Amino acid sequence: MNATKQLHDLGQSLWLDNITRSLVSDGTLQRYIDVLTVTGLTSNPTIFDQAIKESSSYDADIRRLAQAGKAADAIFFDLALADLVRAADLLRPAYDASQAVDGYVSLEVSPELVDDDAGTRAEALRLHGLAQRPNLMIKIPGTAAGIVAIEDAIFAGVPINVTLLFSCEHYLAAAEAYLRGLERRLAAGLRLNVASVASLFISRWDRAVVGKTPAELQNRLGIAVGRQTYKAYRDLLASPRWQTLAAAGAQPQRLLWASTGTKDPAIRDTLYVEALAAPDTVNTIPEKTLLAFADHGAVSGVMPLNGGDAETVLAAYGQHGIDLAALAATLQDEGAAAFKQSWSELMARIKTKAAA
C-alpha cells in the first residue's frame, strides 16, 4: 500500500496545493486522484500567477475577455473559475462518496478585501454563485475582518476555507466564527450542512526562527504549533456546544495543514507530512511534496490527541526569546501582504498579456 493511501485510510484527506490548466486537462489531476488518493485541491493568487506566467494556454482567453472590455480582476476570476469548475467536476465523486465532507476545490477572494468584512462576504457569495458547484469553497483569510465575514458567509450557506491561520488562537477564532454561523442557521431553521476547513500554516514558523534557537530546536516549532492546535480541535469536537450542532446535522470544520513543504534542504522533504498524520484533518500538499511522499514517505503513527510534547517544545522556544503570539501576528500580516503582492503581480501580468 502506498503512503498516500495509508494517510487516506487513517482518516486524513490529501488536497493538492496547485492548479494549472494543463494539470486539469491532460489527465494529471485525474491520475493523482486515482493513484495518489488526492481528494481535493486548493489555489491562491501566487499559484495562478505562476500558471499564467509559465503557460500560453490562457493567452487566447485573456485576449478574448480583454477585447470584451473586462478588467484584469474580472478576467482573472473568469479564468480561475473555468479551471476550478473542471477540477470540481473531477473531484465530485469524492464529494458524493464522502457525503459532502471531502472533494472540494478552493478559490480565494481578492486579497485587496483583507480589511473589508462586508466586501469579503459579498464577494464570497458572488464567486460561489458563479461557480454553481457545491464542492467549491471560498478562501477567506482569518484576519479580524475575515472572521466577521466567515461567520456571515457560513450563515449564508457558503462553504469556506479559512486561510492564513498561524496559531492555536487563530484557529479558535476561526472555529468560533464557524460555530456562530451554524448556530445562527439553527436558530433560523436552516440546514447545518455547510462545510468548512481551517487552514493552519506550518513550515513558515520554522523559517521565521532560523538562527534564533539552538540546533536541537530547529524545525520543531511548526509541528509543535500543529500538535497544540490539533488538541484544541479535538477538544472542541468533544464539547457539548459542538455535540448539539452535530446532533442537528452539522459536520466538523476540519483542521487543515497548510504550507507543508519543507524549506530547509537539510531535512527530510516529507517531514511535515509524516509528522502531521492525523484523523479528521486535511493536508494541502504542494505537488513536489506529494510526489516525494508517494515515492519515499512513511506513515509511522498518528498525532497524539493530547498534543504530545507540544507545550514543552513551545515553552522551550519561549525560553529562547521567541514571543509566539507576536510571531503569529507577524506571520499573518506577512502572509496577507505576500498575497496582496502576488495579486498585484497577477493583475499586471494579465494586463500585459491583454495588451500584447
Active site residues: 139
Q: For strand 12-16 and strand 38-41, is the pairing parallel, antiparallel, or unpaired? A: parallel
Can you list the pairs that 275-278 forms with residues at least 24 positions away whose Cβ atoms lie under 8 Å? Answer: 275/223, 275/226, 275/303, 276/202, 276/223, 276/226, 276/303, 277/7, 277/10, 277/12, 277/301, 277/302, 277/303, 278/10, 278/11, 278/12, 278/230, 278/302, 278/303
Phi, psi of 141, deg, nearest 5: -70, 145
Contact criterion met (CB below 8 Å) for 192 and 249: yes
* Radius of gyration, CA atoms only, the chain: 20
Query: Which cell goes with 338?
Result: 505576500
- The closest alpha carbon to 179, from 170, 192, 189, belongs to 192
Alpha-carbon dihedral sign for residues 305, 208, 289, 267 = negative
Task: Say if residues 182 and 245 touch (Cβ distance below 8 Å).
Answer: yes
C-alpha–C-alpha distance, residues 311 and 332, integer Å: 22
Beta carbons of 131 and 83 less than 8 angstroms apart: no
Give Cα separations from 167 to 173, 247, 278 (angstroms): 10, 29, 18
* H-helix or E-strand spanning residue 307: none
**Cell 450557506, residue?**
157
